[in-house]
Amino acid sequence: MNLEKIMIDLERKHPGEAEYLQAVREVLESIEEVVNTNPQFESAGIIERIIEPDRILTFKVPWVDDHGRVQVNLGYRVQFNNALGPYKGGLRFHPSVNLSILKFLGFEQIFKNSLTTLPIGGAKGGSDFDPKGKSDGEIMRFCQAFMLELWKMIGPEIDVPAGDIGVGGKEIGYLYGMYKKLVREHNGVLTGKGLNWGGSLIRPEATGFGAVYFAQEMLATKEMTFDGKTVCLSGFGNVAWGAALKVNELGGKVVTLSGPDGYVYDPDGISGEKILYMLELRASNQDIVKPYTYEFPGAQFHQGKRPWEVKCDVAIPCATQNELDKEDAMKLIHNGCICVAEGANMPSTPEAIEVFHEKKLLFAPGKAVNAGGVATSGLEMSQNAMKFNWPREEVDNRLHHIMQSIHATCVKHGTEEDGYINYVKGANVAGFLKVANAMLDQGIL
Ligand code: NDP
């Protein structure tokens, strides 16, 4: 494989799509060896085919705000690859959303979904709509308008969207309501649904739980556990709150949370009522990080800073892409951090990952660590298909088992000669092989 040529071609076709190009390069670099030793992939053009989405739908979303003004947002669905099963991947509502970000997320989703062992392909979608500060009525009208276009492209055997940044249970409810009305069927097409109308137990906390189960396996390779460990988290959304709950349950202490404007450091630990308080603020659609320090005066707010300067044993970035750079990586290592598990998608910059690898840190990428979210969405699809709900323990046990199996797969494909586990390589190679072999079997499409 001529990686540089492929990247030059891709940059020429998609100029300025920085996040997408970054994600493709990261994957190609780590699968180069496996592609070069399997000439059948090259002759079937697997690489050229896997790096381009199957199709992209772009649409306008007109809606009316509470003042009667017409607003227009952009909507997207990127269907990347369905070699393993129906397209599957979340919807992100955030002002930063653009095609580059959705293509990076959709591309990553192919390999993540492959790692889960479930029959699901990769996709992503969303809008530049910002739910923050909007009333419930505005969010509902926006979601309904968004679905008026999206429904044509999705279906339980075609494409099954879920939540992501800015899309939680409330948004999924409004989206599903409109979809159901349009298709006149209750077919469970979205995941992350309410528990009393087709949702799965554990789904809301699954990504965070799964991330901590994965980090637990990473620590176990060094004969360590979470017990007594200090943990830095970033963000406080769907992923971070589940992670905070599970770290506490396993005896660790969470000392940071963050938002776009800074982070909170609470040396006493963020647990119990503090987590519940954050959830209440979140549900009311407010800025949540700063008010924490008014409610719990032992905590400090650090304006404009990231939590990676705080001394910790384990760091779990759970906010957004490129939120941990080289300088942050060096600070973490300097302060004695032993493990970085990415709860978010691509939170570490390539330079930060280089530092982690150079220093032989336990470091694992989002596509492995946060795969518990989509895996539990897969379990929600299975339950919907069976018209049956598994109890909490059953879903949690399956999630735990899936995360252990993803970890074992990464170890199998990522262990280097000196015994260091390169989780980036392990996850990319394992995820890629399964999809590439399926594409070979299915012919040139
Ligand atoms: P949420 O919107 O629920 O939470 C994101 C959190 O990060 C919020 O607390 C947000 O603060 C904060 N945040 C946003 N931008 C920044 C920033 N620049 N610096 C610091 N904090 C920031 O999203 P999710 O928890 O769903 O997703 C988080 C990450 O995990 C994303 O990368 C997503 O793709 C990934 N992921 C999510 C899955 C899921 O199941 N939800 C599954 C797999 C991956 P505020 O609300 O104040 O803006």
Q: Is the pLDDT of residue 285 over 80?
A: no
For the chain, what percentages of helix, strand and coil (3-state, to nearest 5) are there? 50, 15, 35
Instruction: Encode 158-178: b = buried (16+ Cβ within 10 Å), e = exposed.
Output: ebbbbbbbbbbbbbbbbbbeb
For range 75-86, the mean pLDDT = 98
Give the distance (Å) from ligand 1 centre to CA of residue 237. Answer: 5
For the chain, the domains span: 53-187, 206-369
The dotted CATH code for 206-369 is: 3.40.50.720
Instruction: Show the ligand 1 pocket: residues with CB < 6 angstroms.
Output: 163-166, 207, 234-239, 258-260, 287, 318-320, 323, 343-345, 370, 373
Residue 279: pLDDT band with limits 50, 70, 90: confident
Out of 110, 239, 284, 379, give the residue to mutate to test ligand 1, the one with the largest number of ligand atoms within 8 Å of its CB. Answer: 239
124 among known catalytic residues: yes
Over its C-alpha atoms, the chain yields an Rg (Å, rounded) of: 21
Residue 286: pLDDT band with limits 50, 70, 90: low
User: End-to-end distance of the chain based on CA atoms, in angstroms?
Assistant: 20
Q: Are 409 and 11 in contact (CB under 8 A)?
A: no
For range 167-180, the mean pLDDT = 97
Do 53-187 and 206-369 agree at the fold level? yes
The architecture in CATH of the region 53-187 reads: 3-Layer(aba) Sandwich (3.40)
Q: Whose CA is nearest to atom 3 of ligand 1?
A: 237
Query: What local confidence, expressed as pLDDT, does residue 284 receive?
Result: 74
Sheet order of strands, 300-303 included = 300-303, 262-265, 253-259, 230-233, 314-316, 339-341, 362-364
Distance CA 212, CA 363 (A): 13
Across the chain, mean pLDDT equals 96
Give the distance (Å) from ligand 1 centre to CA of residue 238. Answer: 7
Q: Are 7 and 28 in contact (CB under 8 A)?
A: yes
Q: How far are the Cα atoms of 8, 13, 14, 123 from residue 56, in angstroms, in the given order?
A: 22, 15, 14, 10
> Which residues lie below 8 Å from residue 434, measured CB to CB, with a gap of 6+?
84, 114
Query: What local confidence, expressed as pLDDT, does residue 282 receive?
Result: 81
Distance CA 339, CA 361 (A): 6
Work out the number of other CB atoms within 10 angstroms of the CB of residue 64.
Answer: 14
Q: Are 390 and 371 in contact (CB under 8 A)?
A: no
Instruction: Encode 82-106: b = buried (16+ Cβ within 10 Å), e = exposed.
Output: bbbbbbbbbbbbbeebbbbbbbbbb
Q: Is the pLDDT of residue 288 over 80?
A: no
HSE, side-chain direction, 13 A CA sphere, residue 54: 19
HSE, side-chain direction, 13 A CA sphere, residue 6: 21
Name the catalytic one among 124, 193, 229, 246.
124
Distance CA 171, CA 177 (A): 10
Token output for 4: 């540089």
* 358-407 pLDDT, tens digit each: 999 999 999 999 999 999 999 999 999 999 999 999 999 999 999 999 99
Q: Is the pLDDT of residue 269 over 80?
A: yes
Instruction: Encode 252-276: b = buried (16+ Cβ within 10 Å), e = exposed.
Output: bbbbbbbbeebbbbbeebbbeebbe
Query: What local confidence, expressed as pLDDT, does residue 425 receive?
Result: 97
Q: Whose CA is nearest to atom 29 of ligand 1?
A: 344
Residue type, 73: N
Helix (H) or strand (E) holding 49: helix 46-50
Give the distance (Å) from ligand 1 centre to CA of residue 221. Answer: 28
Among residues 279, 269, 172, the alpha carbon closest in space to that of 236 is found at 279
Q: Is the pTM of this model over 0.85?
A: yes
Distance CA 367, CA 27 (A): 11
Write the DSSP assignment of 357-395 as a string of letters: HHTT-EEE-HHHHTHHHHHHHHHHHHHHHHT----HHHH
Out of 164, 200, 245, 280, give the residue to mutate to test ligand 1, the one with the largest number of ligand atoms within 8 Å of its CB. Answer: 164
Percent pLDDT > 70 in the chain is: 99
For range 111-126, the mean pLDDT = 97
Show the beta-strand stretches assigned E in 94-222.
122-127, 159-162
Token output for 168: 């939680």
Out of 129, 320, 346, 349, give the residue to mutate to test ligand 1, the one with the largest number of ligand atoms within 8 Å of its CB. Answer: 320
Position with higher pLDDT, 133 vs 217: 217
Token output for 77: 């669905």
